[in-house]
Structure 1
């Protein structure tokens, strides 16, 4: 049985898109017969034991405190994670180290892999220098941006194989001169065992929630996710007065939180459409399906940027699996997921009027809703179900490992 150690920034029981993709990958690999565990670096800040079970998965934690000036601190962080990987490998002998971005995890895996003689697969979920620009913690072209990019290039160059979550990231790596044969796409997917059985709006809890939020008879436009600037929620709020001109009973339901939450709420309060906008704040992940049940259209008005053009988000796929209509801005990451007028609709990014028109037009086309929802659900089931996508990892592992060595009876379990 192939043993895979996933090297992670953070994991369950913390909740994030990053942690949920990891959970989906590891569960799908276990179903395929792989033996998997995870290890997190020092940025996993939730208290817990050194070896922690979460949702049927095993995670090991790196311990320690790192100080020092920027640059040296990150280098020490890499060293601490590499040492923790090597220590774990003495007890639980992995066949492959599967590191997930950021590049610091990849660098720690390379160090450990060299010491242990174990191949390294490096998976890029986003270029973190671009993510920092997108969430307001960095600036394009800064020293930190250039250093992060240089570290990424080094890890990609040294890893035995590289995985990206979408074509946008792969194309960017090819433009940097990396070998196409070394890079495999492992697209974002949905665990249909979790999202494939949506709650109906008529469910008693969903009805009570709708009454509590005063959503009326709808229609309801929804957004569920993190409130970052690049998500374009300010454009969505700005679109509401125009949408109400054509559909006066429409409501906007915003579920989640993040750095832009206060600004977006203040904008909504100042809007002529404030009576039609609802905020819930963050909600427990196990209750998210109830909020999906309240919506007719899920809106994803991402702003156009290098980040949103290169990276595919997970939330539109979850919405499709939930049987919801999807309206998304026409950026590269969305174009990889949504076929306009077939599995959803696309509209001009950074343009509230275009967003309002797309939503209103879709609301006018109720007779087409069932076909659009069916096509979207079929697309997810055929191309984005983790139960299928995870099979691609096996080919990657076999390529870098070769024949899996037979374990001796005394090998650590």
Structure 2
């Protein structure tokens, strides 16, 4: 018998191994593009292997192109399960449930059963009629006679400091502090299971941060529960807490899960609810998936349930005028009930100062280098790839610039690949620090000369203003931002900063170069930026804004 030898390109493992190797070398985007191009001509088995790898690399659109060339096999449990996983990643929950149920009937596997349970829980909470099961009588929530504690507000959060250091937690802490400064009595409440669900164990049912009380609902709740089980446990815990703490108001913070819980408990306990909308998570998801995902079941359902929660709330707080306009345009929401209480900054903590020479030396930054930097999570809509390309152009023009990128995230390997492709990673042109402790972030700001916020032109970037620009402005840094509405709200052109067309590295390079060549303009803009945030964007200002909203709504 004569042995047959397969050509390398036809071997069922050749394409998957090439994808893995290319990804491992930091060229994930190239790997996925190659897989997508090769997929339609591949065998069913090879396409399935490539699709699984694409899903693992969080590229469901590539997995979809690979599987589209091969129809489903109704008798193949693994094929059906793979398509169920793909549908889930694409936000098509009903299709995901159908595929996974079919796979489970053919071949019983705990993993597929667990995925079905997860999908059904997600679908349940996206139903406007969903609500947690609360006692038929709310008598245990508010004893009779119930005398609310004056000015006491319970804020419901998904997570918080110190266990999750993020802008979400930083704002929550400052909301509590600024409310306390105007005579209110805020207390923070985190969802059931936090922080145990993030690997932190041994946490009690409450702790205190700078005098602010944080109630931890079931902090040791079993990890891995469905979102519906977590929501149910949170609602029960919040109802008990209402009985104990006797607030005058409930204030859930993004997302709709927190809002649904607070609205149900508020109805049971006859308490008003102010929903703090800090972002539009359906838009954040679109920024990761692409505009075509707007037709998905997930996008449509999340936007609908968020809108329903906004309509039911007594009042709404949001972060910018662009966000307020989006909320009002949804319809059925009185503009008078929507208050803009923007992100702010502690100008007593974030103060200008000389470059941290010890840190600069450790990072390999020379005294003659102009440091261009950004501090953020590394996700696609931050536009950091555009900033890397702009910095590479400046180095090619002979400018002594060093790009300092502080943070980490899912896009890091792709960003490192861009730095390698453009040559910026040679001779210290770019520094990736990884995450740094929040208490040290000022040292990194002081090391930066020009702070760039290069957000993309995605809808989420056009609507939501990030926290970091305010910190940079308080540190008197020259600011360059992409020209999206949410960022143009905070920059006065050539006065407190400069803007450039989003996703245009050539224009960004020109904007940065002008400031590299003009240190006096950097100083002038930095001083004006600090003056502006001191007058308009301090956390201290926000306390009065909250108080005025509550008084207007008649809840305090």
**Do they fold alike, i.e. is TM over 0.5?**
yes
Deviations 1:292-311 (A, max 9, x none): 11110011111101100011
| 1:401 Cα deviation after fit | 4.2
Matches within 5 A, 1:340-351: 340-351=493-504
Q: Which residue of 1 aligns with 2:405?
A: 254
- Number of positions where the alignment pairs a residue of Structure 1 with one of Structure 2: 394
Q: Which residue of 2 aligns with 1:79?
A: 232
Task: Tell whether 2:419 aligns with 1:265.
Answer: no
Deviations 1:205-250 (A, max 9, x none): x211111111112110011111010011111111122212445311
Q: Which residue of 1 aligns with 2:452?
A: 299
**What SS class does the counterpart of residue 140 from structure 1 fall into?**
helix
Match of 1:163 among 308, 313, 317: 317
Q: Which residue of 2 aligns with 1:387?
A: 540
Q: Which residue of 2 aligns with 1:223?
A: 374
Q: Which residue of 1 aligns with 2:159?
A: 10
Note closer, same or farther for the CA distance 1:329–1:43 as it changes in structure 2 (3 Å cut).
Answer: farther
**What SS class does the counterpart of residue 37 from structure 1 fall into?**
strand
Matches within 5 A, 1:9-88: 9-13=158-162, 14-42=164-192, 44=194, 45-46=197-198, 47=200, 48-63=203-218, 64-65=221-222, 73-88=226-241
| 1:378 Cα deviation after fit | 1.2
Give 1 or 2 for the bigger CA radius of gyration. 2
Deviations 1:311-355 (A, max 9, x none): 111111110001111111111111111111111000011111111
Task: Tell whether 2:553 aligns with 1:400.
Answer: yes
State the alpha-carbon separation in 1 of the partners of residues 440 and 271 from structure 2: 41
| 1:200 Cα deviation after fit | 2.2
State the alpha-carbon separation in 2 of the partners of residues 160 and 317 from structure 1: 29
Task: Tell whether 2:277 aligns with 1:277.
Answer: no
| 1:369 Cα deviation after fit | 2.4
**What SS class does the counterpart of residue 279 from structure 2 fall into?**
coil
State the alpha-carbon separation in 1 of the partners of residues 539 and 364 from structure 2: 36
**What SS class does the counterpart of residue 348 from structure 2 fall into?**
helix
Task: Tell whether 2:360 aligns with 1:207.
Answer: no
More strand by share: 1
Alpha-carbon RMSD across the aligned residues, in angstroms, is 1.8
State the alpha-carbon separation in 1 of the partners of residues 508 and 283 from structure 2: 25
Q: Which residue of 2 aligns with 1:312?
A: 465
State the alpha-carbon separation in 1 of the partners of residues 266 and 290 from structure 2: 31
Match of 1:186 among 341, 346, 352: 341
Q: Which residue of 1 aligns with 2:267?
A: 114
State the alpha-carbon separation in 1 of the partners of residues 234 and 551 from structure 2: 25
Deviations 1:44-67 (A, max 9, x none): 334321112233321112223487
Greater Cα offset, 6-15 or 239-248 = 239-248
Structure 1: tracts of 5 or more residues without a match: 405-413
Note closer, same or farther for the CA distance 1:301–1:269 as it changes in structure 2 (3 Å cut).
Answer: same
Is the 8 Å Cα contact of residues 156 and 258 (structure 2) preserved in structure 1?
A: yes
Q: State TM-score, norm by structure 1.
A: 0.91
Is the 8 Å Cα contact of residues 304 and 350 (structure 1) preserved in structure 2?
A: yes
Q: Which residue of 2 aligns with 1:408?
A: none
Is the 8 Å Cα contact of residues 131 and 307 (structure 1) preserved in structure 2?
A: yes
Note closer, same or farther for the CA distance 1:66–1:280 as it changes in structure 2 (3 Å cut).
Answer: closer
Is the 8 Å Cα contact of residues 4 and 36 (structure 1) preserved in structure 2?
A: yes
State the alpha-carbon separation in 2 of the partners of residues 254 and 173 from structure 1: 33
State the alpha-carbon separation in 2 of the partners of residues 237 and 121 from structure 1: 41
**What SS class does the counterpart of residue 168 from structure 2 fall into?**
helix
State the alpha-carbon separation in 1 of the partners of residues 290 and 160 from structure 2: 22
Match of 2:294 among 140, 160, 168: 140
Q: Which residue of 2 aligns with 1:98?
A: 251
Greater Cα offset, 59-68 or 47-56 = 59-68
| 1:108 Cα deviation after fit | 0.6
Is the 8 Å Cα contact of residues 9 and 43 (structure 1) preserved in structure 2?
A: no
Structure 2: tracts of 5 or more residues without a match: 1-149
Note closer, same or farther for the CA distance 1:26–1:247 as it changes in structure 2 (3 Å cut).
Answer: farther
Matches within 5 A, 1:306-385: 306-385=459-538
State the alpha-carbon separation in 2 of the partners of residues 265 and 394 from structure 1: 46
Task: Tell whether 2:385 aligns with 1:241.
Answer: no
**What SS class does the counterpart of residue 295 from structure 2 fall into?**
coil
More helix by share: 2
